């Protein structure tokens, strides 16, 4: 007998609500579906079923169920207005702007005819978001403030939290650091206190992280990202993990773990495409940022292009790629056009990054007056909020402009300061970039030894990060080339000829006049197949066959059965309570033990649960092939890097592993491979 077969409609709904309160969304969804097949659900129950469908990842049904709930609220204008706004939001998530606009108008018609109530606050929040996306920061602030006032009058904590987050974004965009922090703290307090719903809690977490990264507060962003990941595992929803992946990728990029960051960003793209397509643009932008740092300009340009196609202008990253490709004029046009437009509130958040890039690009384009104007704005921002990240960026930009003007004493002083600040902030790429500029200033001032030391340090950092182009530029500066020659050497190097040839039990690999001999392995066979067909996607299962293996069949059941998953989540809830108790009593030892166990449980749950909350199965053929091929390829790339570091870096940047594997060469740094299997 199916769950709920003997329940009355009222009992089914009550049981489903209780299951939802325990975050058992799949059971609640199944129970309500049974009642729905008997035609027993009223408007409120259909609304609940729509929410359950969202949390279990059945996105195809969410719209249908909200539409049915809306029609069932024919005699309840408030319920009809609320579901109209839910439909607007759902269509926005799916990048369906026309139906979203229609439901927005319908909600407005209904709300206009009603006495003021909580729905008016939600409608005002939606209106503020629309103004913010159109670049109307004043309008965004006015509507968010109005939403906050209505929410507080009617005790609607959900809308109160959403409005506070938006006011925090507005304050960040205006450079009001103290006000932004206050708004964020008030919103996150509501989330941590369990006073708001699942959707609103997730949005608060994501927006708080977004605001922290826009302010350069990466320690806070990292802490909130860990908290959000634990919360997502505890509440068992498939809606938010993609956004969590984006934020993890951002933190990893700043900390210099570029390969891991790229893997997280690519997984985020996949997850968001199936859950919240609207935010794939954010994942594509982050993927572009990571690839730009790694020196994979083609891949970065493609990722930024996909972000543009999804409605998100990925500046200043896109302009910086143009600059790295040697087109300073195009980079200048792109960033000046962006700065002169009405920028959406969320994109205004990282004003520091935008202004710093504008200074760099203007200097490269020979537009020192434009650079000086951008620097004035950056100085005002840094002095106004006194955030460590902004102060570091400001000192670096001041040093960069002073160097361009020939004021070497000022340049050296400012760049010394910037380098020290970046070191304190644990931002290795920024640290090495400042060191490169400092080396150039010292060299111009006649301190050749000091310049050499700075270039060597920067070269070592870039090598460790896998930042290929920056590493090559620092090597060129070490060789005595000036900045323009270094950029030209790194960005427009001529084609290199390389070969990979099978010789019995060994492979001979030739690259840059160096020959490596490596013992045959599956990883080398996979590598040869990828190099022989650039740009083609190979399923890991296909590659297993290439190496003479047999594609695995069958599986060994779920990694964790339903009972085990429930036990893990129950323990997570207990640990959260213990963590809160430890925090109240300032028990550091207990807090660390709780966090360590929560991280371990979250990692095991994440490994055992896939998209839509579906259980992963042990021994799944595609998963086994992915693990086997990835391990073999990465082992081979490590062996190559041990024998020839530049070739190892090149292959690490161009070989993509996973369920789908590919050799994705950068046309800006062509290598012509000759394969002789």
The yes-or-no answer to whether 1-114 and 496-555+621-676 have a common fold is no
Least confident window among 260-269, 401-410, 652-661: 652-661
Interval 447-489: pLDDT, tens: 999 999 999 999 999 999 999 899 989 988 888 765 555 555 4
Within 10 angstroms of residue 468's Cβ, the number of other Cβ atoms is: 24
The H or E element spanning position 516 is strand 514-519
Residue 52: per-residue pLDDT = 93
Kind of pairing, strands 514-519 and 506-511? antiparallel
How far apart are alpha carbons 137 and 342 in whole angstroms?
9
Q: Mean pLDDT throughout 112-118?
A: 93
Interval 484-530: pLDDT, tens: 555 554 444 444 678 888 888 888 988 877 788 899 999 999 999 99
* Cα-based angle 619, 627, 569 (whole degrees, multiple of 5): 60
Q: Mean pLDDT throughout 590-598?
A: 66
| Segments making up each domain of the chain, as ranges | 1-114, 118-124+138-233, 402-489, 496-555+621-676, 562-613
Residue 89: per-residue pLDDT = 92
pTM for the whole structure? 0.73
Q: Please choose, from the candidates 90, 97, 158, the residue with its C-alpha nearest in 3D space to the C-alpha of residue 133.
A: 97
- β-bridge mates for residue 615, sequence order: 609
Q: Mean pLDDT throughout 419-423?
A: 95
How far apart are alpha carbons 159 and 145 in whole angstroms?
11
The H or E element spanning position 272 is helix 258-275
- Give 612's pLDDT tier (boundaries 50, 70, 90): very low
How far apart are alpha carbons 62 and 70 in whole angstroms?
12
Q: Mean pLDDT throughout 588-602?
A: 65
Residue 341: per-residue pLDDT = 87
How far apart are alpha carbons 48 and 197 in whole angstroms?
12
Residues 309/347, Cβ–Cβ less than 8 Å: no
Residue 197: per-residue pLDDT = 92
- Where do we find the tokens 């600059």? 323
Q: Mean pLDDT throughout 73-89?
A: 94
Is pLDDT larger for residue 479 or for residue 67?
A: 67
For residue 649 the two structure tokens come to 């870096």
How far apart are alpha carbons 188 and 568 in whole angstroms?
25
Residue 505: per-residue pLDDT = 87
Residue 613: per-residue pLDDT = 46
Interval 136-161: pLDDT, tens: 999 999 999 999 999 999 999 999 99
Residues 28/19, Cβ–Cβ less than 8 Å: yes
For residue 318 the two structure tokens come to 């896109």
- Quick one: fold of 496-555+621-676? Arc Repressor Mutant, subunit A (1.10.10)
- Quick one: fold of 1-114? 1.25.40
How far apart are alpha carbons 350 and 127 in whole angstroms?
23
pLDDT higher than 80, residue 632: yes
pLDDT higher than 60, residue 619: no
Interval 232-277: pLDDT, tens: 888 878 788 888 889 999 999 999 999 889 988 988 898 888 888 8
Average per-residue pLDDT in the chain? 85
Q: Three-class SS of residue 485?
A: helix
Residues 284/322, Cβ–Cβ less than 8 Å: no
Q: Please choose, from the candidates 532, 534, 533, the residue with its C-alpha nearest in 3D space to the C-alpha of residue 674.
A: 532
Alpha-helical regions (H) of 365-482:
368-385, 388-405, 408-424, 428-444, 448-465, 468-478
Residue 653: per-residue pLDDT = 76
Q: Mean pLDDT throughout 297-318?
A: 90
pLDDT higher than 80, residue 109: yes
Residue 543: per-residue pLDDT = 85
CATH code 2.60.40.1080 for 118-124+138-233 = no
Residue 558: per-residue pLDDT = 59
Residue 583: per-residue pLDDT = 63
pLDDT higher than 90, residue 401: yes
The H or E element spanning position 555 is none
- β-bridge mates for residue 497, sequence order: 672
């Amino acid at each position: 007998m199916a769950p709920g077969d003997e329940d009355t409609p009222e009992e089914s709904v009550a049981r489903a609500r209780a299951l939802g309160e325990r975050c058992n969304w799949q059971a609640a969804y199944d129970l309500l579906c049974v009642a729905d097949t008997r035609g027993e659900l009223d408007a409120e129950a259909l609304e609940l079923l729509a929410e359950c469908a969202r949390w279990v990842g059945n996105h195809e049904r969410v719209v249908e169920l909200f539409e049915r709930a809306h029609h069932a609220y024919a005699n309840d204008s408030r319920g009809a207005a609320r579901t109209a706004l839910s439909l607007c939001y759902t269509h926005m998530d799916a990048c369906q702007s026309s139906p979203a606009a229609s439901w927005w108008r319908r909600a407005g018609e209904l709300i206009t005819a009603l006495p003021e109530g909580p729905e008016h606050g939600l409608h005002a929040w939606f209106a503020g978001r629309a103004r913010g996306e159109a670049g109307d920061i004043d309008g965004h602030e006015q509507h968010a403030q109005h939403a906050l006032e209505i929410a507080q009058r009617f005790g609607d904590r959900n809308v109160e939290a959403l409005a506070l987050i938006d006011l925090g974004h507005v304050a960040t965009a205006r450079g009001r650091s103290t006000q932004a922090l206050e708004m964020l703290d008030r919103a996150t307090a509501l989330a941590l206190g369990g006073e708001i719903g699942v959707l609103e809690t997730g949005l608060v977490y994501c927006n708080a992280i977004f605001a922290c990264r826009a302010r350069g507060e990466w320690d806070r962003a990292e802490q909130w990202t860990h908290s959000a990941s634990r919360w997502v595992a505890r509440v068992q929803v498939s809606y938010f993990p993609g956004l969590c992946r984006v934020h993890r990728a951002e933190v990893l990029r700043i900390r210099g773990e570029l390969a891991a960051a790229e893997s997280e960003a690519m997984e985020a793209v996949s997850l968001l495409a199936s859950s919240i397509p609207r935010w794939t643009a954010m994942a594509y932008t982050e993927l572009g940022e990571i690839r730009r740092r790694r020196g994979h300009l083609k891949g970065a340009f493609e990722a930024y292009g996909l972000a543009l196609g999804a409605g998100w202008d990925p500046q200043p990253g896109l302009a910086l790629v143009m600059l790295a490709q040697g087109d300073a004029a195009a980079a200048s046009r792109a960033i000046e056009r962006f700065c002169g437009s009405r920028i959406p509130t969320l994109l205004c958040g990282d004003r520091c990054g935008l202004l710093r890039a504008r200074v760099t690009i203007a200097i490269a384009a020979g537009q020192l007056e434009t650079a000086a104007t951008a620097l004035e704005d950056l100085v005002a921002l840094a002095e106004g909020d006194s955030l460590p990240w902004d102060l570091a960026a400001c000192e670096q930009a001041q040093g960069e402009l002073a160097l361009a003007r020939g004021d070497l004493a000022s340049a050296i002083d400012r760049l010394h300061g910037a380098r020290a600040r970046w070191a304190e902030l644990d931002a290795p790429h920024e640290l090495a970039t400042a060191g490169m500029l400092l080396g150039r200033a010292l060299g111009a001032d006649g301190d050749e030894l000091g310049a050499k030391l700075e270039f060597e340090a920067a070269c070592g950092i870039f090598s460790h990060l896998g930042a290929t182009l920056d590493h090559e530029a620092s090597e060129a500066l070490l060789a005595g080339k000036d900045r323009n020659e270094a950029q030209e050497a790194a960005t427009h190097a001529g084609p290199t000829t390389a070969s990979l040839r099978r010789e019995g039990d060994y492979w001979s690999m030739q690259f840059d006049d160096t020959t490596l001999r490596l013992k045959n392995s599956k990883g080398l066979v996979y590598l040869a197949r990828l190099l022989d067909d650039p740009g083609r996607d190979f399923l890991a299962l296909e590659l297993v066959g290439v190496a003479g293996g047999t594609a695995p069949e069958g599986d060994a059941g779920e990694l964790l059965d339903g009972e085990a998953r429930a036990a893990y989540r129950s323990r997570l809830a207990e640990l959260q309570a213990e963590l809160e108790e430890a925090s109240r009593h300032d028990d550091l030892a207990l807090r660390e033990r709780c966090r360590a166990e929560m991280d371990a449980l979250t990692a095991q749950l994440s490994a055992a649960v896939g998209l839509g909350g579906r259980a992963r199965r042990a021994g799944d053929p595609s998963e086994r092939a992915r693990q086997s091929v990835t391990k073999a390829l990465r082992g081979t790339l490590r062996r190559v890097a041990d024998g020839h570091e530049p070739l190892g870096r090149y292959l690490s940047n161009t070989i993509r592993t996973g369920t789908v594997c590919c050799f994705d060469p950068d046309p800006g740094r062509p290598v012509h491979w000759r394969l002789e299997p």
